[in-house]
Structure formats: C-alpha cells, structure tokens
Chains A and B, each alone.
Chain A
Amino acid sequence: MKIIARVAELSHRYKNSVALDDVALEIPAGRMAGLIGPDGVGKSTLLALIAGVRKIQYGSVQVLGRDMHRGLNRMVVGPRIAYMPQGLGRNLYMTLSVFENVDFFGRLFGHSKAQRAWRIHELLAATGLAPFADRPAAKLSGGMKQKLGLCCALIHDPDLLILDEPTTGVDPLSRRQFWQLIERIRGRREGMSVIVATAYMDEAERFDWLVAMDAGKVLASGTPAELKSRAGSDSLEAAFISLLPVEKRGRHQAVTIPPRQAQSGDAAIEADGLTRRFGEFVAVDRVSFRIERGEIFGFLGSNGCGKTTTMKMLTGLLPSSAGEARLFGQLADAREVDLRRRVGYMSQAFSLYSELTVRQNLALHARIFQLPRSQIEARVMEMVERFGLTEVIDELAEKLPLGVRQRLSLAVAVIHGPEMLILDEPTSGVDPVARDQFWQLLVQLSRDEGVTIFISTHFMSEAERCDRISLMHAGRVLAQDTPPALIKARGANNLEEAFIDYLEEAAGDNVVEAETPPQLPAQHGASQPRPRNAAFDPRRGWAYARRESLEIARDPIRIAFALLGPIILMIAFGYGITFDVEDIDYAVLDRDQTPESRQYLENFAGSRYFKQGPPLHDYRALDDRLRKAQLTFAIEIPPGFGKAIKRGRQPEVGIWLDGTVPFRAETARGYIFGVHQSYLEQQLRSEPGHSRQAAPVTIETRFRYNQDFKSVYSIVPGTIMMLLIWIPAMMTAAGVVREKEMGSITNFYATPVSGLEFLLGKQFPYIIIALINFATLVLLAVVLFEVPIKGSGAALLAGGLLYVIATTGLGLLMSSFMKTQIAAIFGTAIITTVPAISFAGLFAPVASLTPGAQVFAQIFPSSYFQQISLGTFTKSLGFESLLFNFAMIALLSFIYLVLGLTLLKRQEQ
C-alpha cells in the first residue's frame, strides 16, 4: 500500500486545550480517506498540519515523501497539495465574482492568460457554475460556494486534495452533487489522493478508508466495513459511538418519542404569506404554516435558505416585508413586550454572554424576565440540575464544550417557563451523543409540559423526530407534512431521498446548478505547467495586488474612508488649527481717566491683535469677566497715572492675564509688550529732550519663509504629512489583518506565493490610493487654502511617493503582529498619531524636542517628510537641500519591509 501522508508522535496544543495527542497514522495514497468524529476532536488541526498550513509543534509529518517541518520541502510539495479549509467559502473572496475567484488562484500558480481561460472554463462547466461566472461569491448558496472552493483548489491539478468538512451546512442535493463531482474528478485524475473530514456518517460510509477520532486521539482506522464489523453494528454512527470510551458512551441512550396527544385550542404559531426582502433579494417568499400547541415542528433546509430569517420574523426581531405572523393569536410585533414572556428563543450561533459564568447567565435572564426575587435562586438551581450543568455552574460560558453550551442556551431559553420555544439550528456542530441528549430534553418539554417547539435543523435524523416538518429551499416552502407522509408522497426510501426529490423538482423549473455537462472535456495534461518555484515571481505579487484592488473597489465604506476621510480632515485641520492671533478680548480698568491714560490705551485699541470690550469699573468685575473667559487680559491704569507721567515718576500699568491656557497667555503677553514698546518709542520721539537717549539699536526681526506669520502656510503642509501617515498606514494594516480575520490568509499559507510577493502585492493598491490622497491634498492646499508651492514641485512629488511607500510599509509591519482589524486600526492610529502630531515638527520643530523624543522623530518617516512638505511648499526649497530627508525615508521604507518580512508568519501557529 502506497502512503500519501505519514504522521508520527504528532501532538498539538492550543492555549487551553490539547488538539492532538500523540497521533500516529499512515494514510493510503490514491484513495478517498475520511476523518470522522465530532467537532473539536482535532480533525481540522490534523488536516492543516498535513497541508503544511499550520506549524508543527511536536512530532513529524511526511507528505508525498517529504518532511513538512522544513520550509524548503513545503515549497516543493506545496504546489502539489490543495487545501480547502472548514467553513462555507472560507478561502473565497466574497465580493469577487466566481470567475475572479478562480482566476486569482490561477494567477497564483503562474498560469498564462490562455491557460487560465481554458482551465476556468473547464472547471466551471464541470461544476455547473458556468452560468454564474459573474455572480459575487457572497451571493452563492452554500452548496455553490463549496463547489467554487473546489474549483479554486483544483485549478493546479493537485496530487493530494485535502477537504475539511466540505459539506457541513449544505443541502442534501448539493451534497450529493458535490460527491459526484469529486468522483468524476478522481476518475479523470487517477492516483489523486483525497483526505476529507466529515461529521456526516452517511457520507463516510462511502469512503475507501476511515480514521475515527475523539479528543485528539485516533480511536480506530480501516475501511468502513472493518470499523462496523469491529464494533458489531450495522451503522457507522452506532459503530462510532461504541468506539468511544465508556464514560462518554455511558450517558447515551437512543431517543424515543412518545406520540403526541392532540390538543385542542387555537394555533401556537400561524404564519400567512410571510415575506422578507433585502433590497432585490427575496430571502423568504410567501411562507405559510400553522403550528399547534405542543407540537414539535421542524424546519429543514440548507444554510441561507431563509430558515433563520423566518424565525427572526416570528420573534419580532425582523419586520416582515409582507404577510403576517401570529403567536398565540397575537401579531408578532417588536413592541409586544408581554408576548416575549411566553416565548423562549435560541439563535443559531451561541449567543449568551461568554464572559459570564453559567450561574450568572441564568440569573441575569431570570431577573430580566422578572421572576420573583425570592424564587430566582431556586429556579436557577432547578435549571442547572435538569440540564446537567451542576458541575460547570461557576465556569465561564466560553470555557464550556459546544454540547454543554447548547444545553445552557436551552436552559436560558426556558428559565421563564415559556409556552413556546423557537430554536434555530440548536444542534449544529454538536457531536451525536450530545445531540441525542439535547433531543431528550426537547421531548420532555414537549410531551410532559406541552411546550410548542419550532426547531430548524439540517440533520435528517433530527427532522425524522419531529411531528411535522417543512422543507425549505431558496426562501420557499417546498413541502410540509409529517415525515412518513412526505416519504410516502415521493415514494422514497427515506427522508433525505424525499427531500432531494423535492429539491430536484424545484431546481428543474429554476435552472439552478443541477446542470452539469454530460461529458467532461479531455484532459490537457501536456499543457499543464508546473508552477515555477522562483523565489520571486512578479506575477504572483500582481495577482495579490489585482485582487486587493478589486476588493477595495467593491467596499464602499473603505473607499469612502480612504478617499473622503483625508479631504474632510484636511479641511477641518486647515481651517481649525491656527495660531494666528487676532481679536484678543480685553477690557480696561481706567482709574485715572486723564488724557495721558487715554493716549496710552489708544495704542491697544488701535492694534489689530486686540478687541476691546466694555470698560471695567472695579476689581470684582475684572475678576468675574476673567473667570467667565470673556477676557483674555485686562489693563489697569492706576489713579494719578497722568500726573506721574508729567512729573517723570514712572507710573506702573498693571496687566491681568488669564493664565489658564499658558500658551495663549504667553502669546498675548508678547503682543502686549510690543504695543507697550511702541508707545514708549512714540513718547521718546515726541519729546525732543529725550531723543538723544533713544536706544540706537534696532532689533530687526525677520520672519523667514512666512513673512505674514500665518498658520495656514505651516499647518497645511504639516496636515498633509499627518494624514499621509495616518490613513495609509491604518488602511494597509487593516487590509492584511482583514485576511487573517476572514480566514483567506490560508491561501497565503497554502499556495506558492512568497512573503515578499504577498507583502508587495498587498501594499501596491494602498500606495495607489495614498497617491490619490496625496494629489487631492496638494490640490486642496493650493486651490482651497491658497498655499502655493514655492519650491520644487518635482521634489514634493518625489517626496510624497517615497513617503507613502514608507507609511504603507509601516502599516504592513503593524499588521504582521496585529490579530484583529479593530486592533490594527487603533494600534496603528495610536502608534502613528503621536509621532506625527508631537514629534514630526508640526507644532514644535524637531530641533527643540528632548533627546528621547528625537529618537521617535528619527524612526518614523513623518519628521523627514515634514521637512520636504514644508520645504517645498513654504521654504522655497529644491531637491539638493532635502537630499538627507529623501535618503532617510527610503532607508526607513526598506527597514519596514525587511522587518515585516521577518515577522510575517508563513504558517498558522
């Protein structure tokens, strides 16, 4: 038996848990090998390690005969592996069209234009996606997304295809089509090995070879028949449960449902022509049903078929576009607070407070539902006992395993004793044992307490347990009846077949995806290029740049922020930040009232810097108006001022400044001295007797570069400096981290693109955007603020280009260690704002900074570009005076790139 992947002594830990515990495995080549087991047992980790996407912690992994520990081997083997991560369309780009998605992968593998066109055509035709080539990935159904993911994975004809739960959350028809597709591809490419993880046991039955996993360990491996015979059972599901350790299996018992006693009375839920549109998209289309009290009513359908939207309309979370829903005869309305007391709701994703303990979550809900204070404690304990949460009562909800969490959600939903439960896919992702336990609780609630249960699921085995079910597809109800009646109506063997039959009928008049070409085109094996393993291939970088640009172009919020943000801020700053002194408010307390005092004061009244308010009459008024900030300063002329001047006895004028804002007080004081000085000079000149004593020294103050001393000539160039570090760095950082958050970073790990290609490709579109910003800002400066470029325009342009390369590079560097977009945005903003505002010479020149602050000025490009911007705009400088600044920015860009490259992870940790 040939081996495709060999794993030995493999262990992997996450912060709080062990994902893989000393696993040893040999996976046969040329087969369809399956990994089975519930969620969270280490299947995904194992697959990611085999794919070389995740970093090996302990143990060894050999794939295609190469040790995956070594980066060089991964470079060689990588292009022969294709990896499709878990989650619907996880490796896709949702705003890109079907064609663009596949095209991107083709470019990453260095295919020529003609090759791409032909291969994409072939793949799309084979998967039935050809009619939807222009549709954005986000608008595809779950099944179509998975097929598209497969196209992207297959574009380079891999020898090993790794699929992580490719059919979870996909409708049965699409699932069947998906496996047929895989079969055809394997038929075409003989020798291709496939490793699949799945939670569906019925799928696993059809695989060649299986590995059963639980809690990071391998329980058993072999063909499905071997596993079943070893456990002595006829179904794989039963075999799996019997393979589990005793303590896990112990609690398990088969779910039995006692027949429902028909209840009289009005309906619990009645929907009539319920419709919901989102723009043009009809999510729910004229859905009607009637559910009786005490009934378990199942809602069956794939992800995105409208189940959740319908349920939200029933709870009043979403208003309906048309039609109406009644609960207990009352209209479901957001404002009906009292109705909510009779309903319990569990949303699709876990939606309790994960940062609260089990007890706190239960108590919070009990209090909000106004259970009597004295009963809360007892009710919480009752729920804890009934739902088997006693052992975890003081654990944080986030620390609970998925199955236990779902029990907690149910406990919370029933704590107020509702008459009806609306449960949206409560068992999705939960292992079979825990799922059965959950259903036992539901049966009790329904049969013993008469609670009406409205539940959605995509598990057929659960649907079979419902009193009645409704099959939903693409927003419409296809059929509605008891499960046996539905099976009978279609003459099918089981519910799944019946559902597929209904789906095919629905698709028939809709021409959806079922269409597959009768014959697969012949293999053009000879034309298939092996990707070049060059260390740097500009085509791969360009693939990233092109894709990033497309994504940005389709995100109106990011575009608006990137293009309008700088304009708005520039206008606000240009007008708002000013040190110009005009109209300083002052008032006079003239206790002399002589011609001499009035002559002295005239100098102030005549200055354009000052604005005189009503005169003051006493100290109280003076203090009062200073306190109310109506005055910046007050002038006090003492009694006998005039007489003292005449007698040459130097009277003393008092100035009272508001010292609250020290800078403003200092500025005012400077101007006051100026006026005072000019008064003295006037006096000297007017009195001939004093003229010889006139100081013969003139201090000639030359305000250079900015003769009028206007803020705008300095602040506007400075604002360009500030905005061009702030926004480009933030945008770039968020752009890379976004891929980490969305999961598409996996494509970087799994394809032959190198770190340098990735970084430069990601950076390129942001440089272009930043250059557009730069051009707009310069235009605003010249046209709106009338700040002319007095120096070399070419130097400004060159400086701007270098600067945005540096600032986007800084953003890339930041992104290499940020994990979430919000952290990238705020982290980058905080890191860039302080150097730009305080340490770049915007207000105070770098030369007057403390030595410590000067270090900051030197490691950020802002201080150098400030010189260039200010130099070319206001100081009339050219290239030669600014050479040092150019050199420093270029050096910093290079350092950022090298650091970013060093810190960029080539694998998931």
Chain B
Amino acid sequence: MKRCLGNIFQLGIKELFSLRYDPVMLFLIVYMFSFSVMEEAQNATTGVVNAAVAIVDEDRSQLSRRIGDALLQPQFQPPVAITVDEINASMEAARYTFVIDIPPGFQADLMAGRPTVIQLNVDATAMGLAGTGAAYIQQIISEELSAFLNSDRGVEPLAVVDIVTRARFNPNLEATGFQGAMALTNNITMMAILLTGAALIREREHGTIEHLLVMPLRPVEIILAKVWANGLVVILAATLSLYLVIQGALGAAIIGSIPLYIFVTVVYLFSVTSLGIYLATLARSMPQFGLLAMIVFVMMLLLSGAHTPLESMPVPLQMIMQLVPSTHFVSMAQAVLFRDASVAVIWPNLLATVAIGALFFSAALLRFRKTVTLTQV
C-alpha cells in the first residue's frame, strides 16, 4: 500500500514537471481561468440587456414621448423612432427586437376615456430576451400610464392587491457573478478532460507509457497519478480564478462557503478527470481525442444546466444528463456559491458524482492495457 502511494506520488510529480514544459497547455490554463471567465461573465447571452427597441409614434403627444423616455439603459437601448412602413422590413432584418406602435390620437382617447390600443411587436425568435423583455415593456407602459393619469387627476386609485417581489440569495438579480461562476464551472470541466486525456495520449504517442508498463507499476497507479496531478493544477487555477477574477476583478458577491465549493470541485475533479482518461483510452491519436473530447465537452457545456435550466429539457434528456457528472457539479456550484447550501443539502449530488466517477475510472482501467498498443499516428 505504502509502495503504491509512493509510486502514485512520484508519477504525479513527474506529470507536473511535464506540464511545466508545455507552453500551449499553460497558456490555455491561464486563458481559460482568467480572460475567458471575464469575457463570458460580462457578455450576457440571456436576460434583457441592451435590447434594441423602436417606437412608431403616430401620436406625438406628451404621453407618447413619456413612454419612449421610460425605456432605460441598461435593459434597453435608447428607442429609435421609425415609421409604420419600416416596421416589417426592420424586424425582418432583426434590427429591433421590440417595436412599440402608439396610434394617432392616443393621449386624447385616453383622456376622453375611449378605449385605445398600443401595439407591442416582439421578435419572438429572440428567445433569450423576447419573453422577459415584453413583460418589462408592458409593465413600464402600464406604470407610465397610471402615473400620467394620476398626476392628471390628482387621485390615487388603489389596485385591489399590491405585489412585492424579493429575490432571495441575489436581491438585485445581478447576472455577472452567476455567469462568471458558470463559465468557471464549464472551464473546469474542459481543462480537466483536456489535461488528463492529452497527458495520457502524449505518453502513448511518445512511447513513455510502454516504459511505465514494463516497470513494477500497475495501471491503477498510473491513472491515479494523472488524476491527482492534473486535478491539482485545475483546482489551484480554479481557486485563484474564484478569488481573483470572480470576486476580485468582477466584484461578484458570493454568499456561500468557498472552502465547501473547493471541496465539491475536488470531488468533481476525480469524476471528470476519470472521464478524460476514459475518453483517451477510446481514441487512437491526439486528433481523434480532440474530436471526441470536443463533442463530449460541448454536450456537457450546453446541457448540464449552466446555460439553460435543466427543468426545461425533455424528461428523458434530463434523466440521461443525471448520468453526466457536470450536471451534478453545476447544480452543486449554484447551491453552494449562491444559496449558501451546506453538505446536508448537496449530499445526493456529491454521492452521484463519486459514483459516476468510480464508473468512468473502472472503465478506463479496464481499457487501459488494451489501448496502449493501439496508438496510430
């Protein structure tokens, strides 16, 4: 046992030395855990940010101008005035996501109590913001109308019931921290698969793996060495990224326990580095590994709940994704970092991560010896 641990330790140290001389990988690690996280955090792809709006103001009244002025940044770009004839062409060209059409005589009709209609055209192909943005605009118009009527009449007609929303864990629905943390989560997955898988393929292509196998070493020791060494690199980079990039540069508020997050990441890294090794045993060369890892990674990136919520997917797909470790990691990362959840809350995910990891690890071990000789250039 002691001998075994000694071997794992020695081989792992060797992995770290090897990595030190791989400038491409080092660059990728730095890039993925700094600029890439920043960039993704700041360029939101969902939510109402900077939406393009146009107004067809056929009324040109005080009220219609007031509605236009009420659409504010950062949710909306300053509305552009267009004519009725331009609506179709400009929406077809996707220049505006929302076009508000205020009919002629609108203010007068309202004052006179005559029913009138404001038309809100929404480009419903802009999935990320059409729904929420339309709700916002409706709310903003309603508020402007009642404010206008009230200031005019001097009375305050009460709605029957008032509604107050408060967001727990993230009162201002600040997206930067969340997007940054999700970018970090994805990059942990990618780098863990890439580092371990490439480390194994490289040893195979250089023939050093044969060298290891003629020494008194067992495959399990070789795999575990790669798991701990590459996992260590990722966890260090991720921790730094969390403190320096997400909390530091992005100034995101993290209410949960960072040590617990790191612990969760360590558990996850066992799982995902094992997956990386397993993929490497399936591929015969570095390019094949690249293609394979790419497909697996993109599926994990888009389907594990970091980009779109898991609950919206078809149930069979949700069930399949339960077998993928990143799904559990994403859900644990959200819980721990943003809801301050404790182990008592996340243990089922933790357990699943370990179980899936053990599965990949065993599969990698079974294939390991067989694939050593499969290398082709």
> Within B6-62, which residues are at the interface with A (CB < 8 Å)?
6-7, 10-11, 14, 17-18, 20-22, 24, 28, 39-40, 43-52
Is B206's CB under 8 angstroms from A870's CB?
Answer: no
Those 9 A-B pairs whose CB atoms lie nearest each other, nearest first: A670-B135, A659-B170, A659-B167, A351-B207, A706-B124, A847-B52, A843-B128, A355-B21, A703-B124
Closest to B31 in A: A830
Is B178's CB under 8 angstroms from A661's CB?
Answer: yes
Q: Which residues of A contact B311 (CB under 8 A)?
A: 583, 585
CB of A119, distance to nearest CB on chain B (Å): 31
Asked if B334 is at the interface (CB within 8 A of a chain A CB), the reply is yes
Is B110's CB under 8 angstroms from A696's CB?
Answer: yes
Is A367's CB under 8 angstroms from B47's CB?
Answer: no
CB of A702, distance to nearest CB on chain B (Å): 5
Q: Which residues of B contact A434 (CB under 8 A)?
A: none
Is A576's CB under 8 angstroms from B158's CB?
Answer: no
Interchain pairs with CB closer than 8 A, number: 380
Asked if A845 is at the interface (CB within 8 A of a chain B CB), the reply is yes
Asked if B1 is at the interface (CB within 8 A of a chain A CB), the reply is no
A626 vs B287: C-alpha distance in the bound complex, in angstroms?
45
The listed residue (B178, B286, B340) touching A822 by CB distance below 8 A is: B286
Is A877's CB under 8 angstroms from B92's CB?
Answer: yes
Is A655's CB under 8 angstroms from B110's CB?
Answer: no
21 cross-chain CB contacts under 8 A = A312-B373, A317-B372, A345-B214, A368-B7, A368-B215, A370-B3, A561-B295, A626-B169, A651-B161, A652-B164, A654-B165, A656-B168, A657-B168, A660-B335, A663-B46, A701-B122, A705-B123, A714-B124, A822-B289, A838-B45, A844-B128
Asked if A699 is at the interface (CB within 8 A of a chain B CB), the reply is yes
> Within B145-203, which residues are at the interface with A (CB < 8 Å)?
145-146, 157-171, 173-175, 178, 194, 198
Q: Which residues of B contact A629 (CB under 8 A)?
A: 331, 334-335, 339
- Please give 19 more A-B residue pairs, beta carbons under 8 A apart, in addition to A572-B299, A648-B158: A340-B215, A352-B211, A360-B14, A365-B215, A557-B288, A565-B291, A600-B161, A628-B341, A655-B165, A657-B168, A667-B132, A672-B165, A677-B142, A680-B160, A701-B122, A730-B291, A829-B294, A847-B95, A848-B52
> Within B261-296, which residues are at the interface with A (CB < 8 Å)?
284, 286-291, 294-295
A713 vs B125: C-alpha distance in the bound complex, in angstroms?
7
Asked if A573 is at the interface (CB within 8 A of a chain B CB), the reply is yes
Is B166's CB under 8 angstroms from A650's CB?
Answer: no
Q: Which residues of A contact B341 (CB under 8 A)?
A: 627-628
Is A660's CB under 8 angstroms from B339's CB?
Answer: yes
Is A573's CB under 8 angstroms from B136's CB?
Answer: no
Asked if B213 is at the interface (CB within 8 A of a chain A CB), the reply is yes
Is B291's CB under 8 angstroms from A653's CB?
Answer: no
Decide: A662 near B312, CB < 8 A? Known: A345-B211, A683-B160, A845-B94. Answer: no
Decide: A572 near B345, CB < 8 A? Known: A600-B161, A662-B173, A702-B119. Answer: no
Asked if A674 is at the interface (CB within 8 A of a chain B CB), the reply is yes
Is B166's CB under 8 angstroms from A664's CB?
Answer: no
Is B47's CB under 8 angstroms from A356's CB?
Answer: no
Closest to B206 in A: A351
Is B14's CB under 8 angstroms from A364's CB?
Answer: yes
The listed residue (A317, A672, A698) touching B214 by CB distance below 8 A is: A317
Asked if A874 is at the interface (CB within 8 A of a chain B CB), the reply is yes
Q: Which residues of A contact B211 (CB under 8 A)?
A: 345, 347, 351-352
Q: Which residues of A contact B162 (CB under 8 A)?
A: 650-653
Asked if A68 is at the interface (CB within 8 A of a chain B CB), the reply is no
Closest to B138 in A: A699
Asked if B224 is at the interface (CB within 8 A of a chain A CB), the reply is no
A interface list, Cβ under 8 A from B? 312, 315-318, 334, 337-338, 340-341, 343, 345, 347-356, 360, 364-365, 367-370, 396, 557-558, 561, 565, 568-569, 572-573, 575-583, 585, 600, 623, 626-629, 645, 648, 650-667, 669-674, 676-677, 679-680, 683-684, 692-693, 695-707, 709, 711, 713-715, 730, 734, 738, 742, 820-823, 825-826, 829, 833-834, 837-838, 841-850, 853, 867, 870-871, 874-875, 877, 881, 884
Decide: A575 near B94, CB < 8 A? Known: A698-B115, A848-B51. Answer: no
CB of B275, distance to nearest CB on chain A (Å): 17
Asked if B77 is at the interface (CB within 8 A of a chain A CB), the reply is yes
A353 vs B207: C-alpha distance in the bound complex, in angstroms?
10
Decide: A870 near B125, CB < 8 A? Known: A565-B295, A662-B178. Answer: yes
CB of A282, distance to nearest CB on chain B (Å): 16
- Which of A317, A626, A672, A699 has the most chain B CB atoms closer than 10 A to its own CB? A699
Q: Please tell me which stretch of B229-237, B300-308, B356-364 contacts chain A, meaning at least 4 of its Cβ atoms lie within 8 angstroms of it.
A: B300-308
B interface list, Cβ under 8 A from A? 3, 6-7, 10-11, 14, 17-18, 20-22, 24, 28, 39-40, 43-52, 77, 89, 91-97, 109-110, 113-132, 134-136, 138-139, 141-142, 145-146, 157-171, 173-175, 178, 194, 198, 206-208, 210-211, 213-218, 284, 286-291, 294-295, 298-299, 302-303, 307-309, 311-314, 317, 331, 334-335, 338-341, 345, 369, 372-373, 377
Closest to B311 in A: A583
A658 vs B171: C-alpha distance in the bound complex, in angstroms?
9
The listed residue (A365, A577, A826) touching B307 by CB distance below 8 A is: A577
Is B303's CB under 8 angstroms from A369's CB?
Answer: no
A848 vs B174: C-alpha distance in the bound complex, in angstroms?
18
CB of A643, distance to nearest CB on chain B (Å): 13
Closest to B94 in A: A845
Q: Which residues of B contact A677 (CB under 8 A)?
A: 142
Decide: A698 near B94, CB < 8 A? Known: A667-B131, A826-B290. Answer: no
Decide: A699 near B118, CB < 8 A? Known: A337-B216, A627-B339. Answer: yes
The listed residue (B40, B126, B159) touching A650 by CB distance below 8 A is: B159
Q: Which residues of B contact A628 (CB under 8 A)?
A: 335, 341, 345
Q: Which residues of B contact A312 (CB under 8 A)?
A: 210, 373
CB of B252, distance to nearest CB on chain A (Å): 12
A343 vs B175: C-alpha distance in the bound complex, in angstroms?
61
A367 vs B170: C-alpha distance in the bound complex, in angstroms?
53
A316 vs B139: C-alpha distance in the bound complex, in angstroms?
74
Q: Which residues of B contact A660 (CB under 8 A)?
A: 169-170, 178, 334-335, 338-339
- Which of B123, B163, B303, B338 has the most chain A CB atoms closer than 10 A to its own CB? B163
CB of B346, distance to nearest CB on chain A (Å): 9
A569 vs B299: C-alpha distance in the bound complex, in angstroms?
7
Is A844's CB under 8 angstroms from B96's CB?
Answer: no
Is B373's CB under 8 angstroms from A317's CB?
Answer: yes
Is A680's CB under 8 angstroms from B299's CB?
Answer: no
A867 vs B95: C-alpha distance in the bound complex, in angstroms?
11
Q: Which residues of A contact B46 (CB under 8 A)?
A: 579, 663, 843-844
The listed residue (B18, B92, B165, B308) touching A578 by CB distance below 8 A is: B308
The listed residue (B49, B206, B286) touching A821 by CB distance below 8 A is: B286
Closest to A723 in B: B298
Decide: A693 near B309, CB < 8 A? Known: A659-B171, A705-B125. Answer: no
CB of B18, distance to nearest CB on chain A (Å): 5
CB of A806, distance to nearest CB on chain B (Å): 19
A350 vs B170: C-alpha distance in the bound complex, in angstroms?
57
Is B52's CB under 8 angstroms from A696's CB?
Answer: no
A558 vs B376: C-alpha distance in the bound complex, in angstroms?
14
CB of B299, distance to nearest CB on chain A (Å): 5
The listed residue (A558, A844, A850) touching B126 by CB distance below 8 A is: A844
The listed residue (B22, B170, B194) touching A355 by CB distance below 8 A is: B22
Closest to A679 in B: B161
A847 vs B116: C-alpha distance in the bound complex, in angstroms?
30
The listed residue (A347, A370, A600, A825) touching B290 by CB distance below 8 A is: A825
Is B95's CB under 8 angstroms from A680's CB?
Answer: no
Closest to B134 in A: A701
A651 vs B159: C-alpha distance in the bound complex, in angstroms?
9
Is A627's CB under 8 angstroms from B165's CB?
Answer: no
Is A650's CB under 8 angstroms from B160's CB?
Answer: yes
Decide: A881 near B17, CB < 8 A? Known: A367-B6, A655-B163. Answer: no
- Which of A561, A569, A697 has the most chain B CB atoms closer than 10 A to its own CB? A697
Decide: A654 near B122, CB < 8 A? Known: A738-B287, A844-B46. Answer: no
Is B159's CB under 8 angstroms from A881's CB?
Answer: no
